[in-house]
A and B are shown apart, each in its own frame.
Chain A
Amino acid sequence: KAGVTQTPRYLIKTRGQQVTLSCSPISGHRSVSWYQQTPGQGLQFLFEYFSETQRNKGNFPGRFSGRQFSNSRSEMNVSTLELGDSALYLCASSHNNGEGMNTEAFFGQGTRLTVV
């Protein structure tokens, strides 16, 4: 079974631009979560999608948005990039056990975004 796939692996953008990151979950997983990892703030939860609906949202500005498609693939978008958005963005997928609860999260290798 293929793992969680994130594309691209590396990205360099200029301040003010926008960027879209992609995440393909493990086959059969319907929950996808996104995290931002920086040396200063550590790992912070961005948002979670389940069945194309945002289920949870972290404390990030509206420049950060996401969506999920019918095949469970997810994208996150950051508009008007700032230098502080430079980070490793991690995606995780999990399986819903049919009782409304998720199994543990399986992570992708991340997308390293550098804003210059």
Chain B
Amino acid sequence: AQTVTQSQPEMSVQEAETVTLSCTYDTSESDYYLFWYKQPPSRQMILVIRQEAYKQQNATENRFSVNFQKAAKSFSLKISDSQLGDAAMYFCAYRSGLDAGNMLTFGGGTRLMVKP
């Protein structure tokens, strides 16, 4: 079974600064997908970014980018120019590429606080 670990329960960043959230995972599969989801106080999970394991290039979405290290099984999220609206819980998630379904395995989450 796959596991996802987020070792930082809480992180804090100054507005306009850069912060990196860590995620490691354990799998024996070579084909899989990784995601970062954001959960603000409204509770709705919002997809931030996704990465296909077969792609060597790191995914980027505006101020959000990932550092995907397949051999190390590491998938960190970098948020540049942090904004107050970035404050939320962030979850790293894994999905097998072998399964046609959409079962996600989540990490425990990192609470990000943004200081004005």
Contacts and interface: CB of A to CB of B under 8 A. Distances in A.
Contacts of A14: none
Interface residues of A, number: 28
A109 interface: yes
B29 interface: no
B16 interface: no
A105 interface: yes
A55 B101 contact: yes
A45 B105 contact: yes
Nearest to A93: B102
The SS class assigned to the B binding surface is loop
A110 B104 contact: no
Interface in B93-116: 99-109
B43 A48 contact: no
A23 interface: no
Interface string A59-95: 0000000000000000000000000000010101010
Interface of A: 31, 33, 35, 42-45, 48, 50, 55-56, 58, 88, 90, 92, 94, 96, 100-102, 104-110, 112
Interface of B: 33, 35, 37, 42-47, 50, 91, 99-109
A-B pairs, 7 with minimum CB distance: A107-B45, A43-B106, A100-B100, A102-B102, A109-B44, A55-B101, A56-B101
